[in-house]
């Protein structure tokens, strides 16, 4: 996943993909579907999970790139936090890959993924990064 507008725009696009995927999964989990197949089924759940998986690939590098351009040394100060974000992204991506490997993606499976501490930690990491790395306004 890459954009031509630079690291800050790429980070924004990745965060949007992850957040919108999570919101979609919340709605999907509430539908009580036994499978993602068939007419009227939530076949978009795989598309959303694949987009999230793609957004997670290399996320830490994008965050570090944005932080490196921070005039308040966020790249150095935040390095241990960015390491934690990498671990959380890796765990969340692995959980998403496991769900995608199943022949049927039920609402229950997605509900369990939504409840995963790994996905929740990642979302919280992204909330912190999104706010902490915003450009200063004068």
**11 and 63 in contact (C-beta within 8 Å)?**
yes
Residue 1 lies in a domain: no
Residue 2 lies in a domain: no
What is the distance between the alpha carbons of residues 88 and 121, in angstroms, rounded to a whole number?
A: 6
Positive or negative, the Cα torsion across 92, 119, 49, 20? negative
CATH number at 47 reads: 1.20.120
pLDDT for 138 beyond 60 = no
Residue 108 lies in a domain: yes
Residue 73 lies in a domain: yes
- Other beta carbons within 10 angstroms of residue 20's beta carbon come to 14
The single residue listed with the structure tokens 């969340």 is: 92
Query: What is the structure's pLDDT at 7?
Result: 95
What is the distance between the alpha carbons of residues 108 and 117, in angstroms, rounded to a whole number?
A: 16
**What is the tally of structural domains in the chain?**
1
Question: What's this model's pTM, rounded to 2 decimal places?
Answer: 0.90
What is the distance between the alpha carbons of residues 78 and 37, in angstroms, rounded to a whole number?
A: 43
Mean pLDDT, all residues of the chain = 93
Residue 138 lies in a domain: no
For residues 70, 89, 20, 62, the Cα torsion angle rounded to the nearest 10 degrees is: 30
* pLDDT, tens digit (0-9, with 9 covering 90-100), for 59-89: 999 999 999 999 999 999 999 999 999 999 9
Residue 97 lies in a domain: yes
* pLDDT, tens digit (0-9, with 9 covering 90-100), for 12-47: 999 999 999 999 999 999 999 999 997 665 679 999
Domain limits for position 124: 7-132
């Amino acid at each position: 996943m890459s954009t031509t507008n630079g690291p800050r725009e790429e980070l924004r696009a990745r965060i949007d993909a992850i957040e919108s995927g999570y919101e979609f999964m919340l709605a999907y989990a509430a539908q009580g579907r036994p499978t993602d197949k068939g007419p009227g089924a939530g076949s978009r759940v795989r598309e959303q999970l694949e987009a999230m998986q793609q957004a997670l690939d290399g996320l830490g590098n994008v965050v570090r790139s944005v932080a490196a351009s921070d005039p308040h040394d966020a790249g150095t100060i935040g390095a241990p936090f960015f390491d934690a974000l990498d671990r959380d992204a890796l765990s969340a991506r692995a959980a998403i890959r496991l769900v995608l490997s199943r022949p049927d993606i039920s609402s229950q499976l997605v509900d369990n993924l939504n409840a995963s501490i790994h996905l929740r930690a990642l979302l919280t990491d992204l909330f912190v990064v999104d706010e902490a790395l915003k450009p200063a306004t004068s």
